[in-house]
Structure 1
C-alpha cells in the first residue's frame, strides 16, 4: 500500500493560501515576508526524490500546470506520474497526468504497489482525503507569520474528525520557519 503525504507551506494561523503567488492579498508570503534559508527547504528536495506520484486538486493543477513544467528545479515532479482529482477536467495538458474522478479512485491508487504519493496545495482535497481516512502523513513548513484570512488546511467543517498525530521529525531554522512531520495514528 502506498503512503499519501500532504505537504504544505502553512502560516502560524493555518493559512495555506497563495504561498508563492496568487489571488490572496498577501500572495507570496513565503518569499516576501520571511528571509530565505535554504536549509528550511531541504524537505522539498527530499520529497521530490522520495515520491513516486503527485496528487493535485483541480485548482492547484490549474495553477501549477502552466508554470512547473518550465522550472528546472521541479524536474522530478514534471517526470513523475501526476493525478488530478476533478469531475470536470477532461484533457490534462501536463505530461504524464491522469484524471481521477473521486476519492474512491484515490483509495484504489493508494492500494497499488509503489512509493509515496505527494499531495501539494489543494486544501479542500487534503481535508476531504483526511476525512476519508486516506492521509498517512503531513509535511508542514510552518512560517512565522499571521495572515488572518485565506484558505486553511484545517477548518471547522463537520467532516473534520479528531485525528491523533505522531511527530516523527521536526526542526527550527534561524528565520523562524519550523518543520513538522507527522504520521497519522490509526
Structure 2
C-alpha cells in the first residue's frame, strides 16, 4: 500500500490559502512576509525525490499547471504521474496527468504498490482525504504569521485524529518543520 502525505505551507493559525500566489488578500505570504532561509525548504526537495505521484484538487491543478511545467525547481514533479480529483476536468494538458472522479478512486490508487503520493494545496481535498481516513502523514512548514481568514487545512468537522510527531526542526526565520504520522 502507498503512503499518502499531505504537504502544506501553513500559517500559525492554520491557513494554507495562497502561500505562493492566488486569490487570498495576502497571497504569497510565505515569501513576502517571512525571510527566505534555504534549509527550511529542505523537505520540499526531499519530497520531490521520494514521491511517486502527486495528488491535487481541481483548483490547485488550475493554478499549478500553467506555471510548474516551466520551472526547473519542479522537474521531478513534472515527470511523475499527477492525479487530479475532479468531477469536471477532462483532457488535462499537464504532462502525465490523470483524472480521478472520487475519493474511492484515490483509495484504489493508494492500494497499489509504489512510492508515496503527495497532496499539495487543496484544503477541500485534504479535508476530504482526512475524513475518509486516507491520510497517513502530514508534512507541515509552519510559518510565524497569523492570516486570520482563508482556507484551512483542518476544518471544524474533521474527525478526531491522533498524530505522532516524527520530525521537527525550527529555523532562524521562525518557520518550523513538523512531520506527523497519523495514528490508526
Query: What interval of TM-score do these two structures reach, taking the shorter chain for normalisation?
Result: over 0.9
Q: Return the alpha-carbon distance in structure 2 between the equivalents of residues 124 and 11 of structure 1.
A: 17
User: For 1:25-69, what per-residue CA distance to the aligned partner results, in whole angstroms no more than 9, with x for missing partners?
Assistant: 100000000000000000000000000100000000000000000
Question: Which consecutive unaligned segments of at least 5 residues does structure 2 have?
Answer: none
CA distance in 2, matches of 1:20, 1:114: 29
Taking the TM superposition and a 5 Å limit, the aligned residue runs for 1:72-91 are 72-91=72-91
Q: Structure 2: how far apart are the matches of 1:172 and 1:98?
A: 36
Q: Does 1:149 align with 2:149?
A: yes
Shift of 1:179: 0.3
Question: Who is 1:33 aligned against?
Answer: 33
C-alpha RMSD over aligned residues:
0.4
The reply on whether 1:133 has 2:126 as its aligned counterpart is no
TM (norm. structure 2) is 0.99
Specify the SS of the correspondent of 2:52. Answer: strand
Moved over 4 A (4+): none
Distance 2:27 2:115 in 1: 32
User: What is the deviation of 1:155?
Assistant: 1.4
Does the alignment pair 1:66 with 2:29? no
Mapped to 1, the partners of 2:90 and 2:77 lie a distance apart of 21
Task: Please give the alpha-carbon distance, in whole angstroms, between the structure 2 residues aligned to 1:148 and 1:97.
Answer: 34
Give the deviation of 1:117 after TM superposition: 0.1
- Is the partner of 1:129 in helix, strand or coil? helix
Who is 1:179 aligned against? 177
Structure 1 unaligned runs (5+)?
Answer: none
How many residues are aligned here?
184
